[in-house]
Structure formats: structure tokens, C-alpha cells
Structure 1
Amino acid sequence: MIKCECGRWFSNKRALAAHQSKCEVFRKRKDDEKAQLSELKQQISEYDQKIKEQAEENDTLVQENKKLKYELEEHRIAVCGLKRKCELLEYDNSKLKEEIDCS
């Protein structure tokens, strides 16, 4: 014996299935399940969209970070070059002072 959700008993699955096609209790539960499933699918879709947006934002930030690191390295190189020029100029100045002092 198999019991339907409405409380009626049936001797086999075929009789139960025939009854359930007309049973309001069974149909209401199935409709509720479909509504819940639809809502869950919508939530999943929203979460997927948020994940995609965050991934795109993350990619943008990663690219910007790489660009800034590259620019920083360029500035470091430029600063090192300027320091070296200053050292050479100071050396040239000291040599000129020595020449002036000697003459």
C-alpha cells in the first residue's frame, strides 16, 4: 500500500500516479517546489552575475596594479639615473675647484 500526501491509500504506483494527476494536495506541493526551484535558480543567477562583476573588477585592479608597478620601476630607474648624474656633476665640480685652486 502506498499513501498519497492527501492521506488516501493506493494498492500500487500506477493507481497512485493516476490519483496524483488530479490530487490538489500533491499538485500544490509540486507547484510550491517549482516556485522554490525557480527562486533558487534566480538567486544562483544573481550570485553568478555578482561573481562575474567582481572577477572583472579584480582583473581591472590587477592590470592597474601591474601598470603602477611598471611606472614605479621606471621612476626608480630615473631617480637612480639622476643620482648618478648628480654624483658625476659633484665630481666634475670638485675637479674644477681643484683646477681653480691650483692656478
Structure 2
Amino acid sequence: MHRLLAFSPHERVLAGLLKERLEQEGIACLLRNEELFAAMGELPFLELRPELWVVDAEVLPRARLLIEAWLHPVRTERPWCCPGCGEVLEGQFGGCWKCGRAREEADAGT
């Protein structure tokens, strides 16, 4: 087994979500120290951090790439202007927050 990431104790939920996402991709993994936060003050702090481990070394690079993509997505869509109200919206939005027009309607009109 190989350690992939260590989290702070308050990031237990994130650790669990990443574990689920990796399992959905077919990567066998497990969380260690998941419940040790209750021993805070009794054990050394670094021993309490939840850790995400990958079972097979062959998939470790793929797991790292997937986690990097999930935690730091690259936004490639350009901003767009709603033809209904003129509002400029960021590229990741599929509809105008101001008038409710869908982006497909706006793209078809240009």
C-alpha cells in the first residue's frame, strides 16, 4: 500500500469524498486514521491526520492525476453575454442568473 494524501482532521469529509471518487474510477483505496480525531490532545497531532492510501502501486500516478484534476479543475470556457439582459457570465455557468435564459439559447443566437 502507498500513501497518497494526508489531510488535516477537519478535512475528513473531503478525504471520504476523494476515496469514493477513486473507487468509482476502479482504484482500490482506503482511509487510515479516519476516527482518531477523538484522541486529539492524547496523541501526537501528526498521528491523527486522516490518510488516503492506494492499494496498488501501478495506479498511484493515475490516482494522483485524478485527485489533482478534481481539486484544481482547469476552467477553459470563456465568459459569455446573455442576449436577453446583457449580463456577462463566467463560462462555467449554463444559464443567466439575472433573466433565466439558458446558455444554449444564447449560443444559438450568436
**What TM-score bracket applies, with the shorter chain setting the length?**
under 0.3
Judging by fraction of residues, say which structure has more helix. 1
Pick the structure with greater CA Rg.
Answer: 1
TM-score, scaled relative to structure 1: 0.21
TM-score, scaled relative to structure 2: 0.20
Judging by fraction of residues, say which structure has more strand. 2
